[in-house]
A and B are shown apart, each in its own frame.
Chain A
């Protein structure tokens, strides 16, 4: 599957990784709900690092749609909360 880390680019990763990412994602939801900045940061780092470690960067002359899109590495807890509130990171 194709994973995009926003502001960083796309990676091609094994679909088997989806469960791992999903588990981390669930933990992130909890951290955001609890307003735990430190835990949120650690989990987001781990999530992105998992993709980087297991993925192969997609070449710039390839045009593929991403299956999942991950937030930018410097996403703040506040931005994540906005995302859950519905405003999203992308204005407009």
Chain B
């Protein structure tokens, strides 16, 4: 038994369950219509979910990009102060942040594809539901005619198959979104308390503190030297009192 026949069987089995629900054809039609509207709502919520997740990932990406820029600046600053060790540390963290950004880019692209797929499914289902609504009223009005039964089955089977199809698209998109959300939460956690805290949190503060300390002592020395020149003093401050006393 091939993949095609298995797939076909699975969907048809699902359809049979749907179609067995009501016995009065008019009830079947109304029931099918209700289900379609529910599914349409679900798909719309699904699109919102996927879009929200995508925005969240984009936000994380922006945060990482910010820390990337800051780390570049820190590395430059450290190097200009002759602190190659600090510059190296900053660049290492930058590389890790870059990896995370690449990973997020891939995830964002996946969600974009899911979003496009759901939007397409929603559009298709909406058109089908609209056509079904019209057809349903006609069939119900014609129900007394014997041929109506056949048309009811055709219409209900067609729309039910579409529902199974769109339902599958929705389920898969939701599953992917949940997976990506879980990974996004992991990055959130890392940003807040874990490895990535190195990039944006306390350990980076230590780089900043160290840079600040170096900058402070550096500027103190510079200012001292400038002061010495202003005062026309020698290279060593101790010469001043000695010179003054002589």
Residues of chain A touching chain B, judged by Cβ–Cβ distance below 8 Å, are 4, 6-7, 9, 21-22, 25-26, 28-29, 32, 60-66, 68-72, 74, 80, 83-84, 88-92
B72 CB to closest chain A CB, in angstroms?
A: 37
Give bound CA distance, A25 to B2, whole Å: 6
Residues of chain B touching chain A, judged by Cβ–Cβ distance below 8 Å, are 2-8, 10-12, 14, 117, 121, 124, 127-128, 130-132, 135, 154-155, 157-159, 161, 164-165, 167-169, 171-172
B134 CB to closest chain A CB, in angstroms?
A: 8
Known: A29-B2, A32-B3, A69-B11. A4 touches B161 (CB 8 A): yes
Set A9, A68, A72: member contacting B168, Cβ < 8 A: A72
Main secondary structure of the interface of B (DSSP, over half): helix
Set B4, B6, B121: member contacting A7, Cβ < 8 A: B121
Flag if A21 contacts B4 (CB, 8 Å). yes
Flag if A70 contacts B7 (CB, 8 Å). yes
Known: A7-B169, A63-B159. A71 touches B7 (CB 8 A): yes
Extra A-B contacts (5), CB below 8 Å, given A65-B154, A92-B14: A60-B131, A63-B131, A66-B8, A69-B12, A89-B7
